[in-house]
């Protein structure tokens, strides 16, 4: 068997400017990967790097030739463990680059078997979730308008970005226009430990599901301080990057938030899920502002999760890929009519 590989960089404009405590962006940068077998089947994947983790589309593009050379050298996409090991030995960093290849390989393998990825993994498509829809930081009036639009579109789980001197005002405003939605907040490391405890005590009145990453990842003792005193469950995101982090956060949070772009691939993501369960943690899968070319693969993890924050494509002004159906935010694996991850590029549609 022989495999042919290719990749290209793309800029994906966002529907709205997307703000978090660390800054605001208006577009997402991604690198799309294609792996084709000798029978013409094509696996699609994408990497959306984060500068917060020291990765850019330039670094992804720089290392992808070496990673794809590993794929071509092995030649058999079904040897997923071997390819992952060799990619990790070839490029120790750049998890988004390795993830893009991992997704494309899994897509190709499932297509070769003519089954969706969840079935390849032995998962029940009925055990699925609704993704949250993120309301990015902005002035309070704009965040109110974004929330009203999200409700009109049918989303019933919202994630609200915090990390300002008006956090309580923001949550009160969101709740005033969305009294019945499932709601959680994400500070993106913006609070001090004592500030977090104080704010959480006041946020309890707004019926929040949990608080995500209240303090900097570089302060694990601070995270533990908050966890031990918090009136709400705590989710770890920036503190939970790879499998090795799971034991470290096990007594510092309630929920482990993994992301494909942080951990380096689908096999690693599944390892993290099982490790988190073994440590008594609930599990969420989050994302960057990503295309369906990568989110489709993450959607197949839904039966293994407690929470899904996979709204990346929903935040884009235009996505060059289609993926798993998500009517009103519900991840509809059973409604997927294509094999593989379900991702398909518009350019490949006749």
Asked if 324 and 272 count as a contact pair (C-beta separation under 8 A), the reply is: no
For residue range 206-216, list pLDDT tens digits in order: 999 999 999 99
Pair (113, 155) in one structural domain = no
Pair (148, 19) in one structural domain = no
Question: What rounded mean pLDDT belongs to the chain?
Answer: 97
pLDDT of res. 234: 98
- Reading the block at residue 12, the tokens are 């994906």
Domain limit, last residue, from 93, 119, 145: 119
- Reading the block at residue 169, the tokens are 């005002």
Start-to-end CA distance of the chain, whole Å, equals 27
Pair (94, 22) in one structural domain = yes
Residue with token string 């009160």: 172
For residue range 269-320, list pLDDT tens digits in order: 999 999 999 999 999 999 999 999 999 999 999 999 999 999 999 999 999 9
pLDDT of res. 346: 85
Q: What is the CATH number of the domain that holds 47?
A: 3.30.390.10
Cβ contacts of 55 within 8 Å, gap of 6 or more: 49, 93, 94, 95, 96, 97
Pair (130, 273) in one structural domain = yes
pLDDT of res. 348: 79
pLDDT of res. 350: 52
CA proximity to 51, closest of 13, 15, 20 = 20
Pair (190, 100) in one structural domain = no
Q: Which residues pair with 35 in a beta bridge?
A: 5, 43
Is 0.95 surpassed by the pTM of this model?
A: yes
Widest CA span in the chain: 61
Pair (115, 127) in one structural domain = no
Pair (314, 185) in one structural domain = yes
Pair (157, 110) in one structural domain = no
Rounded to whole angstroms, the Cα distance separating 57 from 8 reads 10
Q: What is the pLDDT along the chain (350 residues), one digit of tens a residue?
A: 899 999 999 999 999 999 998 999 999 999 999 999 999 999 999 999 999 999 999 999 999 999 999 999 999 999 999 999 999 999 989 999 999 999 999 999 999 999 999 999 999 999 999 999 999 999 999 999 999 999 999 999 999 999 999 999 999 999 999 999 999 999 999 999 999 999 999 999 999 999 999 999 999 999 999 999 999 999 999 999 999 999 999 999 999 999 999 999 999 999 999 999 999 999 999 999 999 999 999 999 999 999 999 999 999 999 999 999 999 999 999 999 999 999 999 877 65
∠113-119-123 over CA atoms, to 5°?
A: 160
Per the structure, the count of domains in the chain is: 2
Pair (140, 81) in one structural domain = no
Pair (92, 231) in one structural domain = no
Domain limits at 317?
123-348
Rounded to whole angstroms, the Cα distance separating 8 from 77 reads 20
pLDDT of res. 347: 79
Asked if 310 and 135 count as a contact pair (C-beta separation under 8 A), the reply is: no
Rounded to whole angstroms, the Cα distance separating 142 from 120 reads 43
Pair (93, 144) in one structural domain = no
């Amino acid at each position: 068997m022989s495999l042919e590989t290719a990749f290209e960089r793309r800029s994906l404009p966002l529907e709205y400017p997307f703000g978090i405590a660390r800054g605001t962006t208006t577009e997402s940068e991604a690198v799309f990967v294609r792996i084709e077998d000798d029978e013409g089947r094509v696996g699609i994947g994408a990497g959306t790097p984060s500068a917060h983790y020291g990765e850019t589309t330039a670094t992804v593009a720089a290392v992808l030739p070496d990673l794809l050379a590993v794929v071509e050298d092995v030649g058999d996409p079904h040897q997923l463990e071997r390819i992952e090991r060799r990619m990790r030995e070839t490029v120790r960093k750049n998890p988004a680059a390795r993830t893009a290849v991992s997704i494309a390989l899994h897509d190709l393998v499932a297509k070769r078997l003519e089954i969706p990825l969840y079935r390849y993994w032995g998962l029940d498509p009925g055990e699925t979730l609704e993704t949250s829809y993120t309301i990015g930081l902005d002035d309070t009036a704009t965040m109110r308008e974004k929330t009203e639009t999200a409700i009109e579109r049918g989303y019933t789980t919202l994630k609200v970005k915090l990390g300002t001197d008006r956090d309580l005002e923001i949550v009160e405003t969101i709740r005033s226009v969305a009294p019945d939605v499932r709601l959680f907040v994400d500070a993106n490391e913006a609070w001090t430990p004592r500030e977090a405890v104080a704010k959480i005590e006041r946020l309890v009145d707004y019926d929040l599901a949990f608080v995500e990453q209240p303090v900097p990842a570089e302060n694990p003792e601070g995270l533990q301080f908050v966890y031990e005193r918090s009136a709400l469950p705590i989710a770890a995101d920036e503190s939970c990057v790879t499998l090795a982090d799971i034991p470290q956060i096990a007594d510092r949070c309630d929920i482990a938030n993994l992301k494909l772009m942080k951990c380096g691939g689908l096999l690693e993501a599944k390892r993290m899920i099982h490790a988190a369960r073994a440590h008594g943690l609930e599990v969420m899968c989050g994302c960057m502002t990503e295309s369906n070319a990568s989110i489709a693969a993450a959607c197949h993890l839904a039966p293994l999760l407690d929470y899904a924050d996979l709204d990346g494509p929903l935040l884009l002004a235009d996505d060059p890929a289609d993926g798993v159906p998500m009517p009103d935010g519900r991840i509809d694996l059973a409604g997927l009519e294509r094999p593989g991850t379900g991702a398909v590029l518009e350019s490949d549609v006749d």
